[in-house]
Amino acid sequence: MSPKTPYEMLGEEGVRRLAHTFYDVMDELPQAADIRAMHAKNMDEIKEKLTDYLTGWMGGPPRYHQKTGTVCLTDPHEPYAIGPKERDQWLLCMDTALERIGACDELKTMLKSPMYMIADTVRNQDN
C-alpha cells in the first residue's frame, strides 16, 4: 500500500479547517502582527484561496491551479517584503494551526520540512 498523502490524512474538510484556522491564528497571535498587517482586514477570501492551494499541494484536487492557471506563489507575494522574520511568523501560524486542529504527530513531522521549503521559496528578501 502506498503511503497516504497529507490530503488523505486530513480529508477535504480537514484541509479547509487548517487553512481557516491558520488565518484565525494569524489574527490572534501578537507574534504574527507584522504579517497580519500585510493582509486585508477581512480574510474570508484568502482563507478560501489558501484552502484551494493547500488542497492541491497536499495531494488533493488541483483547485488553485484550475482557478488561476498557475501554482506559482512568486507573483502574488511580489508586492510584500517577505524576509526570514515574516517567513518564520507564517510558519509559527501554520504550526499553531496544526496543533489547534489536532493534527497527528505523523502529519506534523511529514509537513515540517516541505512547509519550511515552500515558505522559504515565498521569501523575497534576505533580511
Number of residues near ligand HEM (by CB under 6 A): 21
Residue 119 binds to ligand HEM (criterion: CB under 6 A)? yes
Distance separating alpha carbons of residues 108 and 74, to the nearest angstrom: 25
DSSP-derived secondary structure for 13-80:
HHHHHHHHHHHHHHHH-GGGHHHHTTS-S--HHHHHHHHHHHHHHTTS--HHHHHHS----HHHHTTS
Per CB under 6 A, the segment of 4-12, 24-32, 96-104, 119-127 that binds ligand HEM is 119-127
The Cα 79–Cα 76 span in angstroms is 7
Quick note: the x/- pattern for ligand HEM over 39-78, rule CB under 6 A, is: xx-----x--xx--x--------------x----x--xx-
Q: How far apart are CA 111 and CA 115, in angstroms?
A: 6
CB of 75 to ligand HEM, least distance (A): 8
35, 26 in Cβ contact below 8 A? Answer: yes
Residues 20-39 that bind ligand HEM (CB under 6 A): 35, 38-39
Q: Is 82 in the site for ligand HEM (CB under 6 A)?
A: yes
Contact residues toward ligand HEM (CB under 6 A) are 35, 38-40, 46, 49-50, 53, 68, 73, 76-77, 80, 82, 86-87, 90, 118-119, 122-123
